[in-house]
Structure 1
């Protein structure tokens, strides 16, 4: 089951925000994240806030779109009353869970409510995640007709044994079909891969990369498997039923991916993300990494506006009760002070291709840069120009780099 929510201050029942969130708001982009917390089965490695049918405890998938629309309307009121200037969404992202477990009409009604409330910037990015076995050609065409521009398929692997360890249910042979259907509908395509699965070999990983690149996606994400406490996979490893993932093998897999993607014309723009040109970078994810504003809709969704962060109640039944009562679904929130915001800018900014301005570092952090260059983890020339940009080895050691840049 998903872990606990963070600790924080109580959130107002009406969701109101302090007027300070409006300061410099016109310098920040605004995005919307819509969480759809439903899955057909729970994958053994997953600790996301998702629920299968027997875990809903009275909440109904059929009612969910209406509840999300109610939160969108509440969000519009809250931001207006806080004095924020009107801002159209530059990106919208439906994540989960499996958003495409809902009928396309439900996703459409949620998107249209978002447009009615906030509007969309011209050329805005509108993405949904999808499992390959949860869509067909007609469904994808309906999404495109409704205004979606992009679909991110959870491919994870092309090797059946790896998918079985992850407890993914789709047939890898389906990947070329769903990509073609998305292309035919006019949608951009992203593929998500996971590497470092217990028992996965380097040849398995090369096979997954080959299959993914054969599809010529616009964007590709490759994430190292993290074994989260409390998951089925963690228990299997503890009992010795599957081997412990090997960090050295995972590092080799990252380097293989980076080489193959570069050869195929993809540029890395964040530690785990590559795209075919600037225009295919995920604008929604960049907004997170660059500290912009977003409203997160749905159970367990997190939001951030002007230095205030909050998170919704987790279970769909609790969320349903809040929305039925006309209350904010926020379970708690925190107001970030200037130092916390600076630390977060370092944590996130160092991961992206453009790098981190050295002006974000304190004296100790700036003094650490020379040592990081000597260790081969930070590029020398950008550092002379005032930016910390990771080398490939530095990308593999990104957490260690951050610890050096943010000494206690």
Structure 2
């Protein structure tokens, strides 16, 4: 089903990005609720060998549907583990995005990767093919924590993978961490943060472990095999990370993200937080263009079958009304260090601001509301007070 003309007419008013979902993993991590699969979970028509060709069909459809779209400013390959595919497959998909829409001169092109899923040769091929940013899923520097998370890499090999990426010429390098894993001590977390800093990345993401329904972790919690993360200890770990990152010259720009400077911020994620426009390619991928949001069928085999039959992989969608857009703006922009524009809020939300400030949860900088560190720890509660 094509998009209405209204959203298409406003497409050039905001940044435009493309997300490419690669749903393959070597092991399904117990905490993960993303739309990912190991090789033995998938049937015919959804293999690693054929995936790039299938995704390119959707990219070409997108190019025909969004005729006149502005050049793409950011491309993000996520998953899953995109580097489970050969580098030439990822480069071909990026080339298809370039052919369909064009890329800006300063385009940011990111791939996620596990430290044990890259080689000097694969990284060099990605860089030559147009990728200029890489995000390594490090999660922890402590073997027993990685084992609990079902991560497969040896933490001793992480510096080597980072060095290879630097030698290949990647302009920006990011490291992802997770805190709050059952059995992770404060010393364990400190060791992970300190190792991440020693890698001298341009960017670090640190996320609290969330036990999602339907995951192996949730089942273990129900059976009493592992304990739910303690909220107070999780907050202490966030504070420790923020202190150490700041001391190392990495400043927060979003609740869970720190960067050396503005140029090192993940522009693709900022595009999400600013409710800009993006097309999501792949099974289960979500898209947003001009107030229209839609999502693809989840299973890779069904996704491949639809495209092979000349059909859209779209599974559902919705139009975002003004009230929903305002609520989402508050939810997303409150997370940013740039803060939330006060004049954009309704009367009830503005009336709540003095109390939020008096409790030390936020400050007012010129015309924007910016969370303090205490406010960052209670961001969801602050949002609830601001949403009318």
What's the TM-score, normalizing by structure 2?
A: 0.98
Instruction: Give RMSD over aligned pairs.
Output: 0.8
Q: Partner of 1:391 in structure 2? A: 372
Deviations 1:74-127 (A, max 9, x none): 0011112xxxx3311100000000100001010010000110111111111000
Q: Partner of 2:32 in structure 1? A: 46
After the TM superposition, which residues 105-254 of structure 1 pair with which residues of structure 2 at under 5 Å, given as runs? 105-187=88-170, 188-254=172-238
After the TM superposition, which residues 52-71 of structure 1 pair with which residues of structure 2 at under 5 Å, given as runs? 52-58=38-44, 59-71=46-58
Which stretch shifts more, 17-26 or 200-209? 17-26
What count of residue pairs does the alignment treat as equivalent?
386
8 Å contact from structure 1 (residues 346, 360) kept in 2: no
8 Å contact from structure 2 (residues 11, 69) kept in 1: no
Equivalent position to 1:270, from 245, 248, 254 = 254
2:356 paired with 1:375: no
Other structure's SS at 1:376 match: coil
8 Å contact from structure 1 (residues 345, 360) kept in 2: no
8 Å contact from structure 2 (residues 211, 228) kept in 1: no
Deviations 1:348-367 (A, max 9, x none): 01100110101221111000
8 Å contact from structure 1 (residues 137, 181) kept in 2: yes
2:9 paired with 1:28: no
Question: Counterparts of 1:168 and 1:218 in 2: how far apart (Å)?
Answer: 23
1:326 CA displacement:
1.1
1:240 CA displacement:
1.3
After the TM superposition, which residues 250-329 of structure 1 pair with which residues of structure 2 at under 5 Å, given as runs? 250-329=234-313
Runs of 4+ in 1 over 4 A off after TM superposition: none
1:398 CA displacement:
0.6
2:344 paired with 1:357: no
Question: Counterparts of 2:206 and 2:293 in 1: how far apart (Å)?
Answer: 27
1:27 CA displacement:
2.0
Question: Counterparts of 1:262 and 1:193 in 2: how far apart (Å)?
Answer: 16
Other structure's SS at 1:155 match: strand
Deviations 1:278-310 (A, max 9, x none): 100000000000011000000000000000000
Other structure's SS at 1:319 match: helix
Deviations 1:151-208 (A, max 9, x none): 1000000000110111111100111000000000111210000001111111000000
Question: Counterparts of 1:24 and 1:51 in 2: how far apart (Å)?
Answer: 36
Q: Partner of 2:317 in structure 1? A: 333
8 Å contact from structure 1 (residues 131, 155) kept in 2: yes
Unaligned residue ranges in structure 1 (runs of 5+): 1-11
8 Å contact from structure 2 (residues 360, 374) kept in 1: yes
Q: Partner of 1:9 in structure 2? A: none
1:269 CA displacement:
0.3
Q: Partner of 2:60 in structure 1? A: 73
User: Which structure's relative contact order is higher, taking Cα pairs within 8 Å and 6+ residues apart?
Assistant: 1
Other structure's SS at 1:198 match: coil
Other structure's SS at 1:334 match: strand
